[in-house]
Amino acid sequence: MKPIFLSVLLVVLALAMPAWASDYAVVVSQSTRAKADWNQVVSALVEKHHASVVTFDRSVDEALPELRRQFPRFVAFVATPAEAGRDFVARVHRLTRRFDDDPYTDCFWGIVTGYDAAAALRIARLSEPLTIHKAASGTEIPLANFESGTWFSEVQKNRMERKEPGKQPVAMKGPDDTTKAIAELLSDYHADLFVTSGHATEHDWQIGYSYRNGSFRCEQGQLFGRDAAGARFPIASPNPKVFLPIGNCLMGHVDGPDAMALAYMNSGGVSQMLGYTVTTWYGYAGWGCLDYFIEQPGRYTFTEAVFANEHALIHRLATYFPDLLAAEITESGRASTNIVVSAKAKAAGLTQQDGLGLLYDRDTLAFYGDPAWEARLAPMPLAWNQTLSETNALWTFTVRANLGAGSFEAVNRNGSQRGGRPILQYLPRRIQAAQVIEGADLDPVITDDFILVPNPGQSQPGRVYRVVFRADPVR
């Protein structure tokens, strides 16, 4: 084939490709890509996912036109610690809701960073999926959903629970200071999942919330525990794991190289994590991830669970506080527009504080890691089954309760804003022009890549919840 003819053919093929053909995009600043070691991170993601690369000069917002054109399912934002601050996280949130006209996030995204480029490269190269069997937690979680695990209470001294393989969880008396025990769960037990709550800053986790305990800290990218007596416990936990500091203030804020998030991703082996970039008080964005990830074991990857909860948050805003969808939080912590409590919100017992809390949480939770890396709990019995089928552009989404009237209730209420999350199903490909044929009474929301059904509450005996809709593929 002659070179000129080949060039023309490639141009024709490029023009013929659909706008959504690129499944994965890597977004990176020109200055970061110019650094040889950080460009290796970009190259690793490109090679692993056959990704496109989108660069920007001064602001990540500059990537929007190309991301709109490509409409990728996954977007990795490669950023140095100097770039990946609070403002960057907020801008990524807003950017990824603007690929189309609906208010929901339009892709699965993650920020790939690290204490240094080598730490980020480890995350970028990780390809082996993680099935989570072993859990460690500094707050109460439902251990019945794991093969084994241990949690220690941050609010009640000596309270803990442990589960051994093949056995039921057992309540036990824990140590007065749990620092060493938790450090060992990471370094020796090699937990696949780590969950924390309580007081924290960018530079420490204060293990006890309402009683004297030790802390986790970091130094030059190395995580360590320090108990109340001053004893130090280095943490070296290289096995890939997921970290959910769901109730911690500031744990997701990378304010420099000594940020705890970077140490967790360095010596702590964390490959994906979420974390608030601000002080947290409302908690919907953080705690709600447990409702999807841990309470529906095996249904969602960690990435899917995080964004299912983000969709749930935006749906709650749209349902009860629609005037806030275009609003932002000001530097003083207030909404940029007046908070109007709708009649529907009043009927649900919600106040202006709820509207402010949802808006406050919407753009402040960071997600770190390769968004396409798959980490999920080992499958366990589920409170309900949900199935999606498609025949000749006719889609059927069906939900069947497994546990009677309480099937849609929260398994565990520890934390803030727990329970009541809508049922969410991701679609295998993008659609458009959806028309509901059956199930309109369930108030479903159908976007280009997921269907959401508000939580039914108490399940009616024998009822099958079904939504049938017709939709066209995106071309």
CATH of domain 3-112: 3.40.50
- CA-CA distance, 424 to 262, in Å (whole number)? 31
- Of 235, 120, 232, the closest CA to residue 189 belongs to 235
**pLDDT tens, residue by residue, 130-189:** 999 999 999 999 999 999 999 999 999 999 999 999 999 999 999 999 999 999 999 999
**pLDDT tens, residue by residue, 224-246:** 999 999 999 999 999 999 999 99
pLDDT surpasses 50 at 87: yes
CA distances in angstroms from 441 to 23, 171, 322, listed in the order given:
34, 43, 20
Chain-centre distance for alpha carbon 37: 27
Query: Directed axis angle between helix 117-125 and helix 36-49, to 10°?
Result: 10
Task: Please provide residue 450's backbone torsions phi and psi, each rounded to the nearest 5 degrees.
Answer: -155, 160
What are the residue boundaries of the structural domains of the chain, listed by start?
3-112, 130-280, 381-473
- CA-CA distance, 324 to 314, in Å (whole number)? 10
DSSP-assigned letters across all residues of 397-420? EEEEESSGGGTTS-S---SSS-S-
CA distances in angstroms from 307 to 69, 336, 366, 418, listed in the order given:
22, 24, 11, 16
pLDDT surpasses 60 at 5: no
Side chain identity at 46, as an amino acid letter?
A: V
Q: Which two tokens stand for residue 272?
A: 């994906």
pLDDT surpasses 80 at 378: yes
Q: Which two tokens stand for residue 208?
A: 């006890």
Are 473 and 439 spatial neighbours (Cβ–Cβ below 8 Å)?
Answer: no
Task: Please provide residue 120's backbone torsions phi and psi, each rounded to the nearest 5 degrees.
Answer: -65, -35
Are 75 and 27 spatial neighbours (Cβ–Cβ below 8 Å)?
Answer: yes
Query: How confident is the model at residue 13, as a pLDDT?
Result: 34
pLDDT band at 7 (very low <50, low <70, confident <90, very high): very low
How big is the chain, counted in residues? Answer: 475
Q: Which two tokens stand for residue 334?
A: 């207030």
Handedness of CA 361, 371, 145, 452 (dihedral sign): positive
Q: Residue 196, Cβ neighbours under 10 Å: how many?
A: 23
pLDDT band at 6 (very low <50, low <70, confident <90, very high): very low
pLDDT band at 8 (very low <50, low <70, confident <90, very high): very low
Name residue, tokens 């968004």. 371
Q: 28-33: long-range contacts (C-beta < 8 A, 24 or more apart)? A: 28/53, 28/54, 28/55, 28/56, 28/77, 28/78, 28/79, 29/55, 29/56, 29/57, 29/60, 29/79, 29/83, 30/55, 30/56, 30/57, 32/78, 32/79, 32/80, 32/83, 33/78
For the chain, give the percent of residues with pLDDT over 90. Answer: 94
Q: What is the largest CA-CA distance in the chain?
A: 77
How high is the mean pLDDT of the chain? 95
Name residue, tokens 């399912």. 73
Are 278 and 249 spatial neighbours (Cβ–Cβ below 8 Å)?
Answer: yes
Torsion of CA 324, 325, 330, 336, to 10 degrees: -50
Chain-centre distance for alpha carbon 141: 17
For residue 259, give every residue at least 6 positions away whose Cβ sits within 8 Å of its Cβ, in sequence order, or none.
Answer: 81, 202, 203, 218, 253
Q: Which two tokens stand for residue 403?
A: 């546990």
Q: Residue 363, Cβ neighbours under 10 Å: how many?
A: 20
Give bridge partners of residue 432 from the DSSP assignment.
472
Query: How confident is the model at residue 77, as a pLDDT?
Result: 99
Q: How many CA atoms lie within 13 A of 33 on its CB side?
A: 16
Helix (H) or strand (E) holding 64: helix 64-70
Alpha-helical (H) ranges within 196-283 are: 260-266
pLDDT band at 14 (very low <50, low <70, confident <90, very high): very low
CA distances in angstroms from 173 to 148, 151, 157, 232, listed in the order given:
18, 11, 9, 23
pLDDT surpasses 50 at 202: yes
**pLDDT tens, residue by residue, 415-468:** 999 999 999 999 999 999 999 999 999 999 999 999 999 999 999 888 999 999
pLDDT surpasses 50 at 9: no
Side chain identity at 249, as an amino acid letter?
A: C
